[in-house]
């Protein structure tokens, strides 16, 4: 049996837009502060997988604050 700490959690399709919105808000806050690149990259990777419909192992783009700003502006819709 897999330990609870290593368990893979699943999201229902109707939950994904809310999770994306939460990650977007968190990343905007980190981007504004500009002081924790490691946390921002971890959150970005989760957002990238949810937003990208990736099959198989994802190949993440090179991460930077400039790239994050561009990605949020262009690829992440804001919920109304």
Using the CB atoms, write b or e for 45-74: b if 16+ within 10 Å: eebbebbeeeeeeeeeeebeeeebeebbee
Q: In the chain, what's the furthest Cα-to-Cα distance?
A: 42
pLDDT digits (tens, 9 = 90+) for 13-61: 899 999 999 999 999 999 999 999 999 999 999 999 998 777 888 899 9
Rounded to whole angstroms, the Cα distance separating 48 from 60 reads: 8
Rounded to whole angstroms, the Cα distance separating 24 from 17 reads: 10
Lookup: tokens for 31? 């981007």
The pLDDT value recorded for residue 77 is 74
């Amino acid at each position: 049996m897999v330990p609870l700490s290593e368990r893979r959690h699943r999201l229902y399709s109707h939950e994904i837009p809310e999770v994306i919105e939460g990650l977007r808000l968190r990343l905007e806050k980190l981007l504004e502060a500009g002081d924790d690149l490691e946390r921002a990259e971890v959150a970005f990777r989760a957002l990238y997988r949810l937003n990208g419909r990736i099959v198989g192992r994802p190949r993440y783009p090179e991460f930077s604050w400039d790239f994050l700003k561009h990605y949020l502006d262009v690829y992440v819709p804001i919920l109304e």
